[in-house]
Structure 1
């Protein structure tokens, strides 16, 4: 890695940190950029490609107008250069993006669970405790000498419970 490349990376990081208003109590953007570049270089000095990709990733996340919290936390010293240098994309994501990802994961889990549910009988005898609708499917199960158990799944929201 040439020192010229490192200097250019520091300049770009400084520029990204100077975007917009500086938060109260923030450190010098140039010093912070140098610290971040050094932390990335320390970890990835043996691979030009990985080093440049890591720099690009940090630039993109620091410039993201939908994620001002990352830049602010770093500038105010709440997030160290070493930590920011090693963060995954998921860790750097804005709170909105994190919530959206969690929602997609939960929906995928619900879909997988619903696919596992055996076919039952549609009924309006039960009211879903979550969505308060009466669009349900009931399944009766009985193991050996055990009493019969009724499982209910809301066809509206996917909520499941047993009666």
Structure 2
């Protein structure tokens, strides 16, 4: 557990260094500390540290840090593929492996051809779940290249798996949850939700449980807050006791049974605004 805590601390520091003007002088020391930690396949999968290192590498301008990051990710890839530990290799195998790695590093320094770390995801043979995963993949795919360390397919699988774990079956509630995630991720008016999910700002577990209000775009949230405020203002106005009069005529039902209130809505030197409500049909209007 202490290894995971150390990894998480280093991850936070690397993420803070990803900003354009951040001080990255300690980046190499942090990466070396990661290399010295006894990272297992289980820890690598849980912490997703590979995504953090790969993302930091893309924002870094130090060639030594970039080269070390690539080498670190390659070592983790070997762990994922089940390669033998270097302590079990013969001297001849060590020598050949070292030459091969140095050759590959020289080639990648000239041309960046490294691929992101692929982490294992839960698998399923259920036809309904597989269809839902395909639906989520189609919502995440665009013409732009994926900049995340995880693949689109992996993110879709993890999101579907998080939804399934909540309902434990593929009933109507499960399907409705998948459809709502699909609609919001596909929404061209809300690209920020998809970007945040792919970048890792929103995890699959979080997106699986987010409400429609939480997934809405900033523009929709602003509009919703405005409508709520207007509704509250209307309700408050309706509860204020006004003055009844038969001098005002309702333009809707044409009857003279009204109640009016006068409120100072502008500066003090301006006349008050009169709000009128028809007691017969409920029609409301205002005039200055």
Q: TM-score, normalised by structure 2?
A: 0.43
**Cα shift readout 1:23-53 (whole Å, capped 9, x = no counterpart):** 6446311110011000000001235111111
Q: Which has the higher contact order (CA 8 A, sep 6+)?
A: 1
Taking the aligned partners of 2:161 and 2:199, their CA distance within structure 1 comes to: 18
Contact 1:127–1:133 (CA<8 Å) still a contact in 2?
no
Taking the aligned partners of 2:213 and 2:262, their CA distance within structure 1 comes to: 40
What is the RMSD of the two structures over their aligned residues, measured on CA atoms? 2.7
**Does 1:41 find its partner at 2:167?**
no
1:14 aligned partner:
137
Taking the aligned partners of 2:236 and 2:150, their CA distance within structure 1 comes to: 49
| Pairwise CA distance, 1:98 | 0.8
Contact 1:62–1:68 (CA<8 Å) still a contact in 2?
yes
1:128 aligned partner:
266
| Pairwise CA distance, 1:5 | 1.0
Contact 2:164–2:170 (CA<8 Å) still a contact in 1?
no
Please show how residues 33-112 of structure 1 align to structure 2 within 5 Å. Answer: 33-46=156-169, 48-112=171-235
Number of aligned residue pairs: 136
1:152 aligned partner:
none
Structure that is richer in helix per residue: 2
Structure 1 runs of 4+ off > 6 angstroms?
A: none
Structure that is richer in strand per residue: 1
